[in-house]
Structure 1
Amino acid sequence: MNRNIKKIAVVGPESTGKSTITAQLAAHYHTLWVPEYARYYCAALTEPCNLQDETNMFHGQVALEEAITAIATKELIFCDTTFLTVKIWSDEVFGETPQVVLDALPDYHYDLYLLMDIDLPWQEDPLRDFPHKREYFMQVWHQELQALNADYVLVGGQENRLENAIAAVDRFLKNI
């Protein structure tokens, strides 16, 4: 795996435009991006998600990220969320996080996190569950990123969200 690749994670609560911005950023910078594995996994579930499913999603996200990183030809990739989402989701829904996730958190480094703000209108989606807890989850994201001592930037704006994200990435790239 190319260890010189800079990884930028696009994270945040539900319905904040993470997938859209990630794809747009990758196109803008002519590079690859890692989709959110959990979206595909959950779409295929026939029963309610359980803690084992969260562990499976952790492993799937890691494997997908490693596969994309291995084939990357540019020195920059974007990640549509990270397995930190598994921790946040597991803590909220099950009151605990699988130990494998907790053990792996310090070992996975992202050079920059773009935390998407909750200033977009809620978009209904069968895989989204908490429209009335957006402020709560925004606080959780801030706390989790601070606990990791992560370099992160809050990105908002309804009309200029992409431009704001590009500006944050450009500032980061200028300073490396």
Structure 2
Amino acid sequence: MTALRIALLGAESTGKSTLAQALHETLPVLTGLRVARVDEYLREWCDREGRTPRADEQRAIVEEQERRADALAVGHDVLIADTTGLMPALYSEYLFADTSLAAPAHHAHRRYHLSLLMATDLPWVADGMRDGPHAQAPVDRLLRRWLREGGHAFVVVQGQGPQRLEQALNAITPLLKDRAAALPPTSPSTVGKPASGGLFSRLLDRQARLPGSTRWTCELCDDPACEHALKSALPPATPRVP
């Protein structure tokens, strides 16, 4: 069985890496599944080279991001991707007006079962490589358009610290439950797990305690202002399929 692939997407300084690490640490404890995390190759590339890539260097970054994801997906039940090739391909359009990477990036992204889209509601953190807070809104708008036009299922996650993790878990839980049901009894993820109170019990119990419905019913979730106006209604949980 191929790994369940969860993509974390968003503009700069929106908490992708922090959430990816939290999910990587939390999901194995809650589920017993084998969880891998693939880090953002673009960030590694920039740190190594001491600069941002040129237009002609973007394709190799897209390809390497997906190559690493494919390698880590082998032998794991869940893959958490701290972004995918979709992001450097999008930056190629945004920064260089180069749309040549869009089609292959969308094709590769269809292997991901769900995208978690980071809201732009966190404080900006400069790191010497990022463009600046002025770039967040246009990148966010372009990313939402790409997700809609590409037909990719996505959930907007927002809030500070534990709120973001809770929303991500709410969105992922139904997919994890289906994944557990499909695992053979001899899977390394299920061997030795008790029949009751075992796999997913903590995760499902946590979700059952949430007040009210967690269904994301807004028809305007492609609008960046939408989740900002609904912070008091945390957490949205059901992926929107455009």
Same-fold status (TM-score > 0.5) = yes
Question: Which residue is 1:102 aligned to?
Answer: 103
Q: For residues 46 and 16 of structure 1, do their structure 2 counterparts lie closer, same or farther at Cα, with a shift above 3 Å needed?
A: closer
Mapping for residues 1-176 of structure 1, pairs under 5 Å: 3-30=1-28, 31-46=35-50, 49-70=53-74, 72-73=75-76, 75-99=77-101, 102-108=103-109, 109-159=111-161, 160-174=163-177
Kindly report structure 1 stretches of 4+ aligned residues shifted beyond 4 Å.
none
SS at match of 1:82: coil
Preserved CA contact (<8 Å) 1:87 1:102: no
CA distance in 2, matches of 1:93, 1:166: 33
Contact 1:114/1:155 (<8 A) preserved: yes
Cα distance in 2 for residues equivalent to 1:130 and 1:123: 9
Q: For the residues of structure 1 that align with 2:114 and 2:80, how far apart are their CA atoms?
A: 10
Tell me by how many angstroms 1:98 deviates: 3.8
Counterpart residue identity of residue 39, structure 1: R
Shift of 1:97: 3.3
Unaligned runs of 5+ in 2: 29-34, 180-242
Task: Give me the whole-angstrom Cα distance separating, in 2, the residues matched to 1:53 and 1:85.
Answer: 14
Distance apart, 1:63 and its partner CA: 1.6
Task: For residues 33-61 of structure 1, give each alpha carbon's deviation from its aligned partner in whole angstroms, at most 9, with x where no partner exists.
Answer: 11001111111225652122211211210
Unaligned ranges ≥5, structure 1: none
1:80-136 CA-partner distances (Å, limit 9, x unpaired) = 00111112100111111345x533522442100000100000011122113112222
Which amino acid in the other structure matches residue 66 of structure 2?
A: V
Query: How many aligned residue pairs are there?
Result: 171
- Which has the greater radius of gyration? 2
Return the alpha-carbon distance in structure 1 between the equivalents of residues 16 and 166 of structure 2.
Answer: 14
Equivalent AA in structure 1 for residue 17 of structure 2: S
Distance, in Å, in 2 between the alignment partners of 1:172 and 1:149 is 18
Q: Structure 1's 175 and 140: CA in aligned 2 closer, same or farther, altered over 3 A?
A: farther
CA contact (8 A) 1:51 1:98 kept: no
Contact 2:89 2:105 (8 Å CA) reproduced: no
Contact kept, 8 Å, 1:16 with 1:118, in 2: the verdict is yes
1:8/1:113 contact within 8 Å kept: yes
TM-score normalized by structure 1? 0.88
Instruction: Quote the sequence identity (%).
Output: 30
Higher relative contact order (CA 8 A, sep 6+): 1
Q: Which amino acid aligns with 1:163?
A: E
Secondary structure of 1:78's aligned partner: strand
Paired residue secondary structure (1:9): strand
